[in-house]
Structure 1
Amino acid sequence: NSGFLPQSKEKMAPDKKAATISNVTFVRPAKFYLSGFSNIPHVTYFYIFLCFVYIMTVVGNVLLLSTLHTPKYMIVFNLALTDLCGSTALIPKVLDTFLFDNRYIVYEACLSYMFFVLFFVSVQSWTLVTMAYDRFIAICFPLRYHSIVTKPAIAAMLLLVWVVSLSIMSCLVGLLDRLSFCGSLVIQSFYCDHGPTYQLACNDTSLNYTMALVCIAAVMCFPPILIVLTYVCIAIALSRIASGTERVKALKTCTSHLILVAIFYLPLLGTYIAVLSSYIHPNARIINSILTHTIPALLNPILYSLKTEEMLNSIRKLCKSNRLSNMTLSNKMTCL
């Protein structure tokens, strides 16, 4: 594929720039173009819906972050922080790109955009695994829970999640810098997605493909497998409990997490399977991908975090203060 590379800067197109490392020239575009949806009428309403989703996500997760301060909710805090950062990395730029028609994105900005979106997806995925581990210890080893799930242990696990995700995604995105982009610069996606971007390259992309498979396995395959294994162990432990009431009580502590796992993984896995097994329309893939990146972050505070004692106490206090203010107002009206 070396024939696709320009011999000198003078022969290079004005929208391209070159970097030479060890006598090998890499052609890097000044900008990429994000295609987004094709031939969808009234698509503006969808972006307005995304704006609403982002506002509600920020409100829900900021409220949650301001409420959770105890060590036992470190994992929930990490999930809320990841949701907030992940949504902020993606949605505002999507709105700027398509709602205000700024579809060209600088090469370096595109790689940064890609890194942060994929990084927070990875952190979110492994945070769900950490939650499954917490439920596994709580149900299978209830007497040893407080000695195993300690603040330092959870902090170490979450730190490992961030460091490993940072390393994997840095490697994935960094490998794009060795590619040359000599032809089309149109990324067939709603953001600088890795697959549609590296497929535009005109030199060997086998290493990028291999790294993409590694990342898919690390983010989308291993975590759900580990979660399934933990719930198999939980199911076995619950089957040994004689009381049906105790089983239901223990299972209720897992329902919110199971719903989040289904919402997060099933659409992504479905898309990957559809892409590998048959043709899926680009618009359907984009809609599925957008909703997969945004809806879990919106629902997490509702489905999981609102079950925390601190949040419930805050809601009770708010309802109590509203009730007292209404009673005071009613008494004043009676006196008048």
Structure 2
Amino acid sequence: MSNATFVRPAQFYISGFSNVPHAEYFYVFLCFVYMVTFLGNGLLLSVIYLVKTFHTPKYMIVFNLAFIDLCGSTAFIPKLLDTFLFDNRYIVYEACLSYMFFAVFFTHVQSWTLVIMAYDRFIAICFPLRYHNLVTKRAIAAMLLFAWGFVVTLRASAVGLIDRLSFCDSVVIQSFFCDYGPTYRLACNDASLNSIMAKLAIAVIMCLPPILIVLTYICIAIALSRIASGKERLKAFQTCTAHMIVVAVFFLPLLSTNIIVQISSISTNTRIINSTLTYTIPPLLNPIIYSLRTEEVLIWSKEQPTNPWPIVLET
């Protein structure tokens, strides 16, 4: 290693909780969360794919959200359970970088998917006569592809900067996965670019999307205030409730956890619990929210036969 430009460890060690009794029950709970998340999002994906009624631009976004939730939970929770429930805390350097990319990547894509959802509601309420011209399958597909490409570029650049760091001393990551911040802070050379990239990610992923969403809802509120009938205002507002709940479930824990970490010192254990729930609970709740709060899904479910195996019995 003496001739190497950068000192890369063979493995990192993920510390996780420290001195927490019966922590295994928390991981069992996460296992339950993953199973419900997998079933809920898998069912929502199947319904949208199989039922032609849902082959619309709006449900392209919902499909993308469910797919992100499914992939994000799969990238995050099984490895978390393997690390702590089965005590495999050592992770090789290259695997750690891959884990670092995928564990947060889908959360970042979800952030911008919610912005695209806000755009859909904004056009539907503020420009209803132009909705079918502005919100087309091609336009939504282009927005979603741009969001995926943008996040891939941002996340790959951030993870790539880890490869220019030297790790001379500790290789113990004070987190519950290969977290970007706790990892680059272990470096013994200049990590200023990594710090800048971390702040840029916070601004672009956690700050800009909710600002854009709030602006769209201000415009929606202004448009609704011009509607004379209170019943019409309520009906238009109800089309936004599912999106508003999903936004609140996603952004409020994410922003509050990061703000608390920045302005005060909290224990590592508390930060790990808050961050873990922030990454795992929204994918669990999103399909439930869209199943219970979206009129089209409710109408479709009521129209289904009570017999759960109609195709088998018909044959």
TM bin (shorter chain): over 0.9
* Aligned 8 A contact 1:64 1:311 in 2: no
Aligned-partner residue type, residue 38 of structure 1? S
Q: Tell me by how many angstroms 1:316 deviates.
A: 2.9
Which position in structure 2 is the counterpart of 1:56? 36
Which position in structure 2 is the counterpart of 1:298? 284
Q: Tell me by how many angstroms 1:262 deviates.
A: 1.1
TM-score normalised to structure 2 length: 0.93
Which position in structure 2 is the counterpart of 1:160? 146
Q: Tell me by how many angstroms 1:272 deviates.
A: 1.7
Which position in structure 1 is the counterpart of 2:104? 118
* Aligned 8 A contact 2:241 2:293 in 1: no
CA distance in 1, matches of 2:145, 2:28: 36
CA distance in 1, matches of 2:140, 2:292: 21
* Aligned 8 A contact 2:72 2:102 in 1: yes
CA deviations over 1:74-121 (Å, ceiling 9, x no partner): 000000000000000000000000000000001000000010112111
* Aligned 8 A contact 2:48 2:63 in 1: yes
Classify 1:40/1:243 alpha carbon distance in 2 versus 1 (closer, same or farther; 3 Å).
Answer: same
CA distance in 1, matches of 2:86, 2:187: 28
CA deviations over 1:307-336 (Å, ceiling 9, x no partner): 456643553355622699xxxxxxxxxxxx
Q: What is the count of residue pairs matched by the alignment?
A: 304
Q: Residues 1-336 of structure 1 correspond to what in structure 2 (within 5 A)?
A: 8=2, 20=4, 25-69=5-49, 70-72=55-57, 73-308=59-294, 311-312=297-298, 315-316=301-302, 320-321=306-307
CA deviations over 1:247-304 (Å, ceiling 9, x no partner): 1111111111111111111112112211221111111111111111011000110112
Q: Tell me by how many angstroms 1:67 deviates.
A: 1.0
Moved more, 256-265 or 96-105: 256-265
Classify 1:100/1:320 alpha carbon distance in 2 versus 1 (closer, same or farther; 3 Å).
Answer: same
* Aligned 8 A contact 1:189 1:286 in 2: yes
Moved more, 267-276 or 196-205: 267-276
Alpha-carbon RMSD across the aligned residues, in angstroms, is 1.7
Greater C-alpha Rg: 1
Classify 1:135/1:301 alpha carbon distance in 2 versus 1 (closer, same or farther; 3 Å).
Answer: same
Any runs of at least 4 consecutive aligned residues in structure 1 with deviations exceeding 6 A, and if so which?
none
* Aligned 8 A contact 2:168 2:188 in 1: yes
Aligned-partner SS, 1:26 = coil
Classify 1:323/1:68 alpha carbon distance in 2 versus 1 (closer, same or farther; 3 Å).
Answer: closer
* Aligned 8 A contact 1:96 1:102 in 2: yes
CA distance in 2, matches of 1:270, 1:146: 37
* Aligned 8 A contact 2:34 2:73 in 1: yes
Classify 1:319/1:281 alpha carbon distance in 2 versus 1 (closer, same or farther; 3 Å).
Answer: farther
